[in-house]
Amino acid sequence: EEEEKLQNGGFLPCPAGPGGGGGSAGTALEEPLRSCQLRSDAERCWGTTSGSPPSPLAPGEDVGVRTSCGRAQPAALPPAPLGFTDVNLNSRNTYEVSRRRSAPEHLPHGGTAPVVPPQEPAERTRRVGIAGAGSSFAEFFTRNFFTKRTKELKPAVQSAPGWKLFGKVPPRENLPKDSKIIQQEYEARTGRMYKPPPPSGRRKNIEFEPLSTTALILEDRPANLPAKSVEEALRHRQEYDEMVAEAKKREIKEAHKRKKIMRERFKQEENIASAMVIWVNEILPNWEGMRATRRVRELWWQGLPPSVRGKVWSLAVGNELNITPELYEIFLSRAKERWKSFSETSCENDVEDVGASVADREASLELIKLDISRTFPSLYIFQKGGPYHDLLHSVLGAYTCYRPDVGYVQGMSFIAAVLILNLEEADAFIAFANLLNKPCQLAFFRVDHSMMLKYFAAFEVFFEENLPKLFLHFKSYSLTPDIYLIDWIFTLYSKSLPLDLACRVWDVFCRDGEEFLFRTGLGILRLYEDILLQMDFIHIAQFLTKLPEDITSEKLFSCIAAIQMQNSNKKWAQVFASLMKDNKEGDKNHSPALKS
């Protein structure tokens, strides 16, 4: 038996049937093994040496006599010798078919590929899985184990099917679990029943509830920690109620404040829209006859509509200098020539010329570049690369050439920038030149100390009349008006106040003149009087140099309206004229002493 096992590959031979050599037992074992014999089938299909493909089906030939290889065989085949030979290599599975489709066949031993005649699709499908002559274990395992599918790439999905060696695993369902399902699974594993905390009736009436206080105070302690005592739980609940109530009050207060601001804004927009119709259809066509009427002055006080603001400013400022757009182009070209020659010379010589020739203010063109970058920096439109940088540079440069006696003074860039935002280039230059030609602006920008002192003295007269307590407080610290008024007057409040509020100040300034500039200063002091009374010299100077950004036009103009520009039945112009008269008389009295 041991020798027979060795001869038969380790297995006992099957017993012969009663028929001798091919009984029923042998026949029963032969049928399932007939489809598994690789070498014998391959030899029947191709032969051992010829390597020629099978011939097409002859007329009248029975299809059933062909084997799976496509080669005709007699209907009854002699029984093959029994044994387990190469059983695993003859199964035609999906892996072998896909490999044959993607990888080319090995060339036969002859060196040339066999010529395959055209076949029908069914017959070609039957012959796909047949190996060439001389195929062996080495050729089988040297092939790529996994196929290359470059043309059938599909995007990956969330639940992609898994792979096994010769087939696909059905995709697994990775659906998100509900919280109830997770809770049930947890209870099934641990055997504990989760009891949610009873809902508190206190939360139903609370619209706003901070999450931080809810997580820190209201929630119970974890199970692994000792529970709170009754007194501690009541104390925490009381603290939590107080925090939530305070947060709710604050939120309601802020919501009411936002609603109030929105209502005021909508109301203001409606008033502006209705006022614009009046200005366009009634006032501007009849400007000279209606500008001084009470109705127009009241509309003016409420603020000009942005669409007509530039036009009204130009008409109110006027053009006493008779500047034309052509004249602006002349001075602009002169300024460009100066810039060009200035860039060609050395910087050291330019600085020496600026310090030496004070009369020639056209040399201050270089100072414009330094000041433009600091003009409305939050808007990012006047800085280098912005849309209005070159325009502002041109207007300021042309003015320095137009008025070399004044030149460029720091603060002019803010005035020119506000005009550029509301007017065209040439119109902005005309309004800018005529505005700086007013007595107050000319005195400040030419740094006329005697005239500036007269304006400061007139301001203090009305300061003492309207705000006596604050006036004495400033006097106790020797805080003079020049500390805070110079910056306000030089820039016409465009640097100190928000831009929209500054434009409204400009509206009434174009109506009332220089008097309104000092009246606005008194209105600012009145608005912050209570705060300023509690400050010392340093803090007052810092506060007035940089005013709060949340100042509103309604509050400021209500304070400005409360300022009475009248002292002993004298108005601003009369008080200033009396100061000028006293100054002239004082100069006459001191003139002989000065001459001696």
CATH number at residue 532: 1.10.472.80
Residues 516 and 480 in one domain: yes
DSSP 57: P
The dihedral region occupied by 529, where left means phi > 0, alpha psi between -120 and 50, and beta the remainder, is: alpha
Residues 412 and 282 in one domain: no
Contacts of residue 97, defined as CB under 8 A and 6 or more positions apart, other chains included, come to: 128, 129
Residue 576, domain member (yes or no): yes
Residues 449 and 579 in one domain: yes
Half-sphere exposure of 559 (CA within 13 A, CB side): 19
Residue 248, domain member (yes or no): yes
**Distance in angstroms (rounded) separating the CA atoms of residues 207 and 111:** 88
The neighbouring-strand residues paired with 167 are: 164
Is residue 24 exposed (0-12), middle (13-18) or buried (19+ Cβ within 10 Å)? exposed
DSSP 66: B
Q: For residue 395, what is the domain's CATH number?
A: 1.10.8.270
3-state SS, residue 304: coil
Question: Token digits for 529?
Answer: 């009087």
**What own/partner pairs with CB < 8 Å and gap ≥ 24 does 261-265 have?**
264/554
Residues 510 and 531 in one domain: yes
Q: Which of 404, 421, 437 is the last residue of a domain?
A: 437
Residues 327 and 416 in one domain: yes
pLDDT of residue 586: 56
Residue 243, domain member (yes or no): yes
Assess contact for 371 and 413: CB atoms under 8 A: yes
pLDDT of residue 139: 52
pLDDT of residue 338: 84
Q: Is the dihedral of CA 466, 468, 472, 474 positive or negative?
A: negative
Residue 125, domain member (yes or no): no
**Distance in angstroms (rounded) separating the CA atoms of residues 110 and 112:** 6
Residue 497, domain member (yes or no): yes
At 10, phi and psi to the nearest 5?
90, 5
- Of 547, 563, 544, the closest CA to residue 473 belongs to 544
Sheet strands (E) in 17-139: none
Q: Which of 437, 461, 494 is the last residue of a domain?
A: 437
Q: In order along the chain (596 residues), what is the average pLDDT of each group of 10 residues? A: 63 51 47 47 46 47 44 46 46 48 47 46 44 47 49 46 49 55 69 56 45 53 83 87 90 92 86 90 92 91 92 94 95 88 58 44 68 88 91 93 90 94 95 95 92 94 94 94 93 93 95 94 95 94 91 92 87 88 62 38
- 570: part of which helix (H) or strand (E)? strand 570-571
Domain that holds residue 390: 319-343+360-437
Q: Tokens 């757009």: give the residue.
A: 325
At 362, phi and psi to the nearest 5?
-65, -20
Amino acid type, 181: I
Residues 581 and 460 in one domain: yes
Assess contact for 487 and 496: CB atoms under 8 A: yes
Residues 377 and 329 in one domain: yes
Contacts of residue 360, defined as CB under 8 A and 6 or more positions apart, other chains included, come to: 353, 404
- Of 533, 563, 572, 559, the closest CA to residue 465 belongs to 563
Q: How many domains does the chain have?
A: 3
- Of 158, 155, 157, 189, the closest CA to residue 176 belongs to 158
- 480: part of which helix (H) or strand (E)? none
Residues 329 and 295 in one domain: no
Residue 312, domain member (yes or no): no
DSSP 286: G
Hey, what's the torsion of the CAs at 253, 258, 264, 266, to 10 degrees?
A: -150
Can you list the alpha helix ranges (DSSP code H) found in 306-448? 306-317, 325-344, 347-356, 365-372, 389-402, 412-422, 425-435, 439-445
Residues 287 and 413 in one domain: no
Residues 520 and 396 in one domain: no
- Of 131, 29, 45, the closest CA to residue 83 belongs to 29
Contacts of residue 372, defined as CB under 8 A and 6 or more positions apart, other chains included, come to: 382, 383, 384, 389, 392, 393, 396, 413
Is residue 569 exposed (0-12), middle (13-18) or buried (19+ Cβ within 10 Å)? exposed
Residue 161, domain member (yes or no): no
Sheet strands (E) in 109-158: none
Residue 564, domain member (yes or no): yes
At 376, phi and psi to the nearest 5?
45, 65
Contacts of residue 415, defined as CB under 8 A and 6 or more positions apart, other chains included, come to: 432, 435, 436, 491, 492, 494
Residues 456 and 579 in one domain: yes
Residues 457 and 564 in one domain: yes
Start-to-end Cα distance in the chain: 156
**Distance in angstroms (rounded) separating the CA atoms of residues 213 and 202:** 14
3-state SS, residue 125: helix
